Structure 1
Amino acid sequence: MSKVTLEGHIIVPVQDLKPVLEALPEHIALTHAEPGCITFHVQQSSKKPHRFDVYEEFIDKQAFEYHQRRVKESHWGAITSNVIRHYQVSEESE
């Protein structure tokens, strides 16, 4: 089994900042409830309010791919369609 980690950040356009902030708590709660989620953090930058640092760990590739599919079909996926994503995904064998 290989743990999957995603690290990086997103840049939220000005017009999308309020809806993203409103939807973020539910997105975090739904992700934490997913099978295979080890940790999931999204933190708004105090210096650059349109930047959110992201860190995710899932138990394996299957859990990570489930998360990706769920997000694309969710309210979060819709309101973040204009977000610029800067991610690095890695797999670590245990």
Structure 2
Amino acid sequence: MIILSGFLRCRTPEESQIVSHYLPAHQQLSRAEVGCLTFSVTQTSDPLVWCVEESFRDKHAFDVHQQRVAASEWGGKTGGIVRDYTISEG
């Protein structure tokens, strides 16, 4: 199992609004992927920080997810937002 956990750290309220706007479709597509076990992105008490928790069946499923995200609207719109993630095998 591959586990990703950490934070999206927006620098401005506008970046946080971008996350809010594009997140529902991103979550729906991610959760529908073969090998996605869990997928959660939630706003913390700091409106500029989002907690990210994902798990995938194996490295292949995670790699496919990463490739899809890189080419997606979500990836394009949020690509400049700071990611502070840890990836581990469970």
Q: Which TM-score applies when normalising by structure 2?
A: 0.94
- Partner of 2:20: helix, strand, or coil? helix
Q: Which AA in structure 2 matches 1:22?
A: H
Match of 2:59 in 1: 61
CA RMSD after TM alignment = 0.9
Aligned length: 89
Residue 60 of structure 1 deviates from its aligned partner by 0.1
Match of 1:25 in 2: 24
Contact 1:12–1:82, Cα closer than 8 Å, also in 2: no
* CA displacement 1:65-92 (0-9 Å, x = unmatched): 0010100000000111111111110112
Structure of higher CA gyration radius: 1
> Match for 1:85: what amino acid?
R
Give the equivalent residue in structure 2 for 1:88: 86
TM-score normalized by the length of structure 1: 0.90
Choose the corresponding residue for 1:5, options 3, 6, 16.
3
Runs of 4+ in 1 over 6 A off after TM superposition: none
Structure 1: gaps of 5 or more residues: none
